[in-house]
Structures are given as C-alpha cells and as structure tokens.
Amino acid sequence: MLRFQERGEAPCSYVRGVLDAQMSSIDQRIRELNELREQLSALSVEADRLPPPVAGTSCRLIDHVREKLPAHNE
C-alpha cells in the first residue's frame, strides 16, 4: 500500500483484488460448510432410525458410521 502511495498511484485496484479474493474464499467456505451441514443432517436422520442404546454398549451411531467406512489396509 505504501509503495502505491510512494509512486503516486491509488491502490484501489489492488485493494479491490484483495476484496474480491477474500469474498471468493468466504463463498467457497460457505459452500463447504453447507455441504457439511447437509451431511450432518442426514446423519442425524439416520440416528433417529437406529434402535435405542443398550446400557454398557458403545454408541450405535458410531458403530453405524464405522460400518459404512471402507476397510483400512494396515
């Protein structure tokens, strides 16, 4: 910004570019968060369909999600 001033130039186009880049980054993050929210909402619906937990067992929702994950090769 100071270099623009030193050269007698207005930094408006630079500032506008930074502003546009920041808005684009925020828009991308909003899309990602909306996608994550949809996934969590779907998981919540699945959780409502699972049988109630049994004392002394693990969380059925966690077990359900683990069953859907691909097997890891170790």
Instruction: Give per-residue pLDDT as tens, 14-36.
Output: 889 999 999 999 999 999 999 99
Give ∠ CA 67-70-73 in degrees, rounded to 5.
120
1 in Cβ contact with 11 (< 8 Å): yes
- 50-57 average pLDDT score: 80
User: Residue 56 has what pLDDT?
Assistant: 78
User: Residue 5 has what pLDDT?
Assistant: 77
Inter-CA distances, 15 with 20, 23, 29, 41, 54, Å: 9, 12, 21, 39, 59
Q: Is the pTM of this model over 0.85?
A: no
Residue 74's pLDDT band (boundaries 50, 70, 90)? very low
Nearest-angstrom CA–CA distance, 63 and 18? 45
Sequence-ordered alpha helix ranges (H) in 1-74: 2-6, 12-49, 60-68
